[in-house]
Amino acid sequence: MVESLDLRSRLAQALSAISFEHSERTAATAVKLAKTHSADEEKALTAGLVHDAARDLTDEELLKRAKEYRIEISAIEEEKPYLVHAAVGARMAAEDYEIVDESILSAVKNHTFGQTNMSKLDKIVFLADMIEPKRDFNGIETIRELAEENLDKAFAVAFQMQLVRLINQGKVVHPKAISVWNSVAKEVGKK
């Protein structure tokens, strides 16, 4: 695994100051959640740092990299290339930052839409990105409190809030997010 100091230095050069600072806060939050939920703190740190590796790429660069990486692009992603930043970022983490751990790459890839059957690390990075200290939206304190108590419930509530916010803003919801929500709703319904 890449040393976190080297990774930080390289990301600081590659990302805007705003994106890098967000990645630092996300990583710190991910480590805190990993401690709370008995997950690998080093993996949480690395995934949190690199989760937005592709965040500052232009739309054209995102689409170009997606094509180079043979990432399938949907019509929605073609229209809004930002939506592919997580998938492109996972490949960049592997190729540009020499991260080979599949669990870290999965957490990076799934930090935006999630995935059915998400791992603990996937959920930690998803939540850390959403609740890092500078984030502020209606309901965030509820998610922060839940994240300290029950990772699965926090993820379900956070994902639901994210979908409701998109719908209330009249934005398109990615089909993958709908299938993830259906999976989450079934799981939550069982508990």
pLDDT in tens, 75-99: 999 999 999 999 999 999 999 999 9
Whether the predicted pLDDT of 176 surpasses 80: yes
Pick the CATH number of 4-190 from 3.40.50.970, 1.10.3210.10, 3.40.50.300, 2.40.50.140: 1.10.3210.10
Region at 79 (left for phi over 0; alpha for psi -120 to 50; beta for the rest): alpha
For residue range 143-170, what is the model confidence (pLDDT) as tens digits?
Answer: 999 999 999 999 999 999 999 999 999 9
Mean residue pLDDT of the chain comes to 94
Domain ranges of the chain: 4-190
Q: pTM for this structure? A: 0.94
